[in-house]
Chain A
Amino acid sequence: MSEIREAHLDNGLTVLLKPVRTAPVATFWVWYRVGSRNEVPGITGISHWVEHMMFKGTPTLSKGEIMHLINRNGGVDNAFTSSDYTAYFELLPSDRIDLALRIESDRMVNALFEPEEVASERTVIISEREGAENEPRFWLGEEVLAAAFKVHPYHHDTIGWKIDLETMTRDDLYSHYKTYYAPNNAVIVAAGDFDADEMLAKIQKAFGALPRGKDIPPVKSVEPPQEGERRVVLRRPGPTSYFHAAYHAPKASAPDYFPVFVLVGVLTGVGGMSFSGHGSPGRSSRLYRALVETGLAVDVDCSFRATIDPGTLDVTATARPGVAIEKVERAIFAELEKIATKRITENEFAKVLKQARSQFVYAADGVMNVGGWLGQLEVVASYKMYETFLDNLNKVTRADVLRVAQKYLGETNRTVGWFVPSNDGARKGRR
C-alpha cells in the first residue's frame, strides 16, 4: 500500500493523503477538533447541532444545493459528532472529487445559521434524542457516564441534555461554529483514486486562502482519580435488566493504550474494527463464554474507544429475561478479577494479534474506512498510530496485560449501572 502523505498549510490546516488506486472512487473528509468534550453546561449537544447546521447553506451554496450536487454526481455524504470530533465526509466517483473540496472549503467559514433553520432543526434534534430515549440502554449509558465523570465534560453524552436542546440559541450555535471551525482546528483526509501532488495542489487552492482562526480554547478539565465505587440504579419500564460498568481507562496516546486493547480483545474479541471501537463479540472470548453460553445474558460486550482524554472501558450486558441482574454482575466481576489475577494464555494473546491483523486487512478494503481511521487517530493521538498499530500490539507482553488489568479494573475505579425494569416484567425478572 502507498505511503501516507502529510502536509500543513500556512493557515494551520493539516492534510493527510492516501492514494488508493484500486477502484474509481475517492473519499474526502474534514475532521474538526471539536465535540461534546468542548461543551459546558447550558450548551451541551451544541457540537452535534452545529453539525446539522452545516447542511443548511452558505451564501453561495443554498440549503439543499449541497445535497442535490452530491446526488447529481453519484456520491454520498454525511457527518457525525462524538465527544472528541465532528467529521464530514463525501464519497464520490474519483473524477468528481473536486465537488467535495468546494463544499467543505465553503462551509468551513461561510455557514449561515439562519434563525428559521435553527428553529426547524431544534425539533429535529430533539426528535433524534427522543428516538434514542426509546432504548433502555441509552438511558443507562447516559446515567453511568454522568456518574463516572464529575469534572470532565465526558460527563454528558454527545446528543446533549434535553433542556439544553430546548433552550440554546442561534447565537450560541453560531459562536460555537465561529470558535471551532477554522483551518487551524481541522484535519483533511483524502483517500482513494488520485495523485497525491495533484490533490495537495487542489487543497491548497480551495483551502489555502481561508484565514487562520483564533487560538482554540483548551479543555482544562482533568477528571480526579476515583476513590471508591459509584453506583446508579435506574428504574424504568423495559423488557429486561441491563448492566453497564465503566472503568476509567487510558487515553489513545498513552503507553497503556495497547495493553488495554489486548485486554479488551481477550475479554470480548477484536470485533469488526470500524473506527467506532465497537464490534461484535467473539464467541470464544471470556465474557461471551461466561455470560451468554451460561444463559445469564442475551449479550455482553466490552468496548474501549480511542479518546483524546482518558475515557472509559465499558462492559455492558443484557440480562436474559428472568435472570437477576446481581447474578449477571457477579459473573462479569468474576471474569474481570480472573484476568487481573492471572496472566492471559499464549493462545489468547496470539488470537488477539491474529484478529487485529485480519481486521486491519478487512478495514482496508474500501477507501471510506481508511479515511475514517486516519482522521480519527490523528484527532485523538496521531495518524502515525495507523501505520504502527500492529507493531505496537506485537510489543505488548502478557505481563503488561496483567499489569493494566490490575491498574484499571479495580473496584474503586468503576461506576456500576443497573437498569431495572419497573413494569410487570421486572417483578418476574427479580424472582
Chain B
Amino acid sequence: MNSTLPITPETITRVTLANGLTILVKDNPNNASVTLRGRMRAGGLFDAPPVNGLAHFATAALQRGTRKRTFQKLNEELDRFGMSFGIGAGTETIGFSGKALVEDFDRLLNLAADVVMHPIFPRSETEKLRAEILANLKQADDDTQHVAYREFRKLCYPASHPYHRLSDGTATTVKRLTLNQLREFHARYFRPDVTTLVIVGDLRADHAIEKIERAFGKWRARGTPEPHAIPVASPLKQIARRVFPLDGKTQADLVLGYPGLRRTDPDYYALSIGDLIFGRLGLYGRLGENVRERQGLAYYVFSSIEAGIGAGPWSVRAGVNPKNLDRALEGILAEIARLRSAQVTQDELSEARDFITGSLALRLETNDGVAATLSDIELFDLGLDYLQRYPQIVRAISAEQILAAAQKYAQIENYALAIAGPVDRRQ
C-alpha cells in the first residue's frame, strides 16, 4: 500500500479566487463521500463585553432562513439527501462543515453558499433560536464541568481580554441582542478574503474548484478585513481560586491552569510535548499515573493546551469526590512542581516523540481527519510541507527546552482554580 502522506505540496491543490476565498482540495477516491470544511478568521473575539454572544448567535441564525430557503426547507433538503451541515462561531474562528455523497456534492455546496452569503434573519425563527440559546445557557449553568471551565476562564484572563468570556454569551447579553446587530455582524465579518474552504473526497480538484467558484465566486466584501488578533495575556500574579456550589451533584469538577501560548509561539512544540508527558500520554500521562492509577482519586484527570491565534489556556481538568478534593489538588500541584523542577527523562521524551510521529497516520485516516489537519495548516500558515517537516521538528525538541517552557508557563505560587459541585464555598 502507498504509505506516502496524504498532505504534501504535490497532493494538495490550493488556489485563491479573485474575491480572496482560499480553497484547498484533496482528492480521495477511497470513499464515495465528500467532506467540506470552512473556516473564517472571525468570531467572538470581535464581541465587546456588552454584546458577548453576538458572533455565536448571529452565526447560528444563518441556518434559520436564507434568500432561497426557509429553515424548514433547508432541514428537509439536508435530510432528504442524507447530508449534514452545521455552522458555528468560537472565540477565534467561525467554522462550518458538511458531508454528502459525491453525487450530492453540488447540492451541499449550493446550500452552504446560500447559508454563508444570503441569510435573512427571519424574526420568528431567530427568536426561537434565541430561546434555544437561553435554554442551553440555563442547562450549562447546572453542568459542573462547564461551570468550572467558564469560571476558570474568568479567573485566568482579565475582564478586558476576549478569553475572559466564553463565546456563547450570558443570559443577560443574549436577551439584549437585536436582529439588527445580528445582521450587522454578518455583513461586517463574513467575507471571502478571511475564509478558507477545504474539500476532501472523491472528486477531481479542478472540478471541485470550478464548482466552488460557481457557488461562491460572486461573494464580495468591501474594504479590508478587521485585524484578526488576540491581545497578549499577562501571567497570573497570585492564586485566584473560586468555588461554585451546585445542588444535587455527587462529584466536584475542577479546572486549574494558566494563560498558555499561541500556536505560532516558538515555545509551542516544547510546551506541547511537555504537556503530553505531563497529562495526556496513554491514560493521562504523569497526572493519570499519580492521581488515577496510584491514588485512585479520579476517573478523569488530564491536561490540555489550547494554543490558538492567541495564548489560550494551559489547564488541568479533573472530577473528584468532594472528600478527595484536597488530595487530588495536592497530587496535581506536585506533578506541576515536578515538571518545573527536573527535566523529563529521556525515556519519557522518546516515548512522546515516537507517539506523536507514529500516530500521524491515524489522524489522517479519514476524510474528516485530513480536512481538519488541512484547515489548521492554513489557519496557522504552517505550509503544505508541514507534515513532511513535522517529525524533524518534534525530534529536535530537547528535555532542556521542555523544562524551560514548563518553568515559563506553569507556576506553583500563581494559578487560576475553579471548582464546581457539591462543595462549600469555604472549601
Contacts A237-B248, A284-B79 given; does A134 touch B300 at CB 8 Å: no
Chain A nearest Cβ from B57, distance in angstroms: 16
Selected A-B contacts with CB under 8 Å, 16 pairs: A22-B31, A25-B362, A70-B282, A94-B1, A124-B299, A130-B321, A131-B299, A237-B247, A284-B78, A295-B128, A298-B132, A298-B135, A298-B139, A320-B131, A321-B135, A358-B33
Contact call B3/A24, Cβ cutoff below 8 A: yes
Contact call A298/B136, Cβ cutoff below 8 A: yes
Chain B nearest Cβ from A426, distance in angstroms: 11
Contact call A285/B79, Cβ cutoff below 8 A: yes
Task: Flag whether A202 is at the interface (Cβ < 8 A).
Answer: no
Residues on the A chain within 8 Å of B81, using CB: 354, 358
Contacts A21-B1, A124-B299, A283-B75 given; does A358 touch B82 at CB 8 Å: yes
| CB 8 Å contact bits of B243-262 with A (1 = contact, 0 = none) | 00011111101000000000
Contact of B282 among A68, A236, A293 (CB under 8 A): A68
Residues on the A chain within 8 Å of B132, using CB: 292, 298, 320
Contacts A318-B139, A354-B81 given; does A127 touch B33 at CB 8 Å: no
Residues on the A chain within 8 Å of B135, using CB: 240, 298, 320-321
Contact call A284/B72, Cβ cutoff below 8 A: yes
Closest to A56 in B: B293
Contact call A74/B360, Cβ cutoff below 8 A: yes
Task: Flag whether B267 is at the interface (Cβ < 8 A).
Answer: no
Contact call A362/B33, Cβ cutoff below 8 A: yes
Q: Which of B313-370 contact A (CB under 8 A)?
A: 319-321, 351-352, 354-362, 364-369
A71–B280 CA distance with the chains assembled, in angstroms = 11
Residues on the A chain within 8 Å of B33, using CB: 358, 361-362, 365
| CB 8 Å contact bits of B18-53 with A (1 = contact, 0 = none) | 000000000000111100000000000000000000
Contact of A284 among B76, B319, B356 (CB under 8 A): B76
Residues on the B chain within 8 Å of A96, using CB: 358
Contact call B131/A358, Cβ cutoff below 8 A: no
Chain B nearest Cβ from A234, distance in angstroms: 11
A91–B6 CA distance with the chains assembled, in angstroms = 18
Task: Flag whether A282 is at the interface (Cβ < 8 A).
Answer: yes
Contact call A127/B298, Cβ cutoff below 8 A: yes
Closest to A279 in B: B84
Stretch at the interface among A29-37, A114-122, A255-263: A114-122
Residues on the A chain within 8 Å of B83, using CB: 358
Task: Flag whether A229 is at the interface (Cβ < 8 A).
Answer: no
Closest to B328 in A: A127
Contact call B1/A73, Cβ cutoff below 8 A: no
Residues on the A chain within 8 Å of B184, using CB: none
Task: Flag whether B421 is at the interface (Cβ < 8 A).
Answer: yes
| CB 8 Å contact bits of B126-145 with A (1 = contact, 0 = none) | 00100110011011011111
A55–B292 CA distance with the chains assembled, in angstroms = 13
A61–B295 CA distance with the chains assembled, in angstroms = 22
Task: Flag whether A182 is at the interface (Cβ < 8 A).
Answer: no
A356–B352 CA distance with the chains assembled, in angstroms = 40
Contact call B299/A25, Cβ cutoff below 8 A: no
Residues on the B chain within 8 Å of A368, using CB: 365
Q: Which of A281-310 contact B (CB under 8 A)?
A: 282-285, 288-289, 292-293, 295, 298
Chain B nearest Cβ from A359, distance in angstroms: 7
Contact call B32/A133, Cβ cutoff below 8 A: no
Closest to B249 in A: A134
Contact of B75 among A68, A239, A284 (CB under 8 A): A284
Contact call A365/B368, Cβ cutoff below 8 A: yes
With A74-B355, A354-B81, A359-B82 already in contact, 8 other A-B pairs whose C-beta atoms are closer than 8 Å: A71-B351, A123-B296, A127-B320, A131-B319, A134-B145, A237-B247, A238-B248, A239-B138
Residues on the A chain within 8 Å of B141, using CB: 239
Q: Which of A47-76 contact B (CB under 8 A)?
A: 55, 63-64, 67-68, 70-76
Contact call B351/A72, Cβ cutoff below 8 A: yes
Residues on the A chain within 8 Å of B421, using CB: 134
Task: Flag whether A23 is at the interface (Cβ < 8 A).
Answer: yes
Contacts A284-B75, A321-B135, A358-B81 given; does A120 touch B251 at CB 8 Å: no
Contacts A67-B282, A238-B142, A321-B138 given; does A351 touch B250 at CB 8 Å: no
Residues on the A chain within 8 Å of B79, using CB: 269, 282-285, 351, 355
A21–B247 CA distance with the chains assembled, in angstroms = 52
Contact call B247/A282, Cβ cutoff below 8 A: no
Contact call A76/B75, Cβ cutoff below 8 A: no
Q: Which residues of B contact A (CB under 8 A)?
A: 1, 3, 6, 30-33, 72, 75-76, 78-83, 99-101, 128, 131-132, 135-136, 138-139, 141-145, 246-251, 253, 281-283, 289, 292-300, 319-321, 351-352, 354-362, 364-369, 421
A284–B128 CA distance with the chains assembled, in angstroms = 16
A181–B6 CA distance with the chains assembled, in angstroms = 40
Residues on the B chain within 8 Å of A282, using CB: 75, 78-79
Contact of A23 among B75, B292, B294, B365 (CB under 8 A): B365
Closest to A269 in B: B79
A126–B251 CA distance with the chains assembled, in angstroms = 10
Contacts A239-B138, A284-B78, A284-B79 given; does A67 touch B355 at CB 8 Å: no
A76–B295 CA distance with the chains assembled, in angstroms = 24
A283–B337 CA distance with the chains assembled, in angstroms = 50
Task: Flag whether A109 is at the interface (Cβ < 8 A).
Answer: no
Contact of A351 among B80, B352, B359 (CB under 8 A): B80
Chain A nearest Cβ from B364, distance in angstroms: 7
Q: Which of A214-259 contact B (CB under 8 A)?
A: 236-240
Closest to A55 in B: B283
Residues on the B chain within 8 Å of A131, using CB: 251, 299-300, 319
Residues on the A chain within 8 Å of B289, using CB: 64
Residues on the A chain within 8 Å of B354, using CB: 71-74
Q: Nearest 8 pairs between A and B by C-beta? A: A74-B358, A358-B82, A237-B248, A237-B247, A120-B296, A239-B142, A67-B282, A283-B75
A134–B146 CA distance with the chains assembled, in angstroms = 12
Chain B nearest Cβ from A232, distance in angstroms: 17
Task: Flag whether A102 is at the interface (Cβ < 8 A).
Answer: no
Contacts A73-B358, A318-B139 given; does A423 touch B247 at CB 8 Å: yes
Contact call A193/B355, Cβ cutoff below 8 A: no
Q: Which of A156-201 contact B (CB under 8 A)?
A: 193
Contact call A293/B128, Cβ cutoff below 8 A: yes
Closest to A128 in B: B299
Residues on the A chain within 8 Å of B1, using CB: 21-24, 94, 193
Chain B nearest Cβ from A372, distance in angstroms: 13
Closest to A139 in B: B248
Contact call A68/B351, Cβ cutoff below 8 A: yes
A125–B298 CA distance with the chains assembled, in angstroms = 9
Chain B nearest Cβ from A294, distance in angstroms: 9
Chain B CB within 10 Å, residue with most, of A238, A282, A357, A368: A282
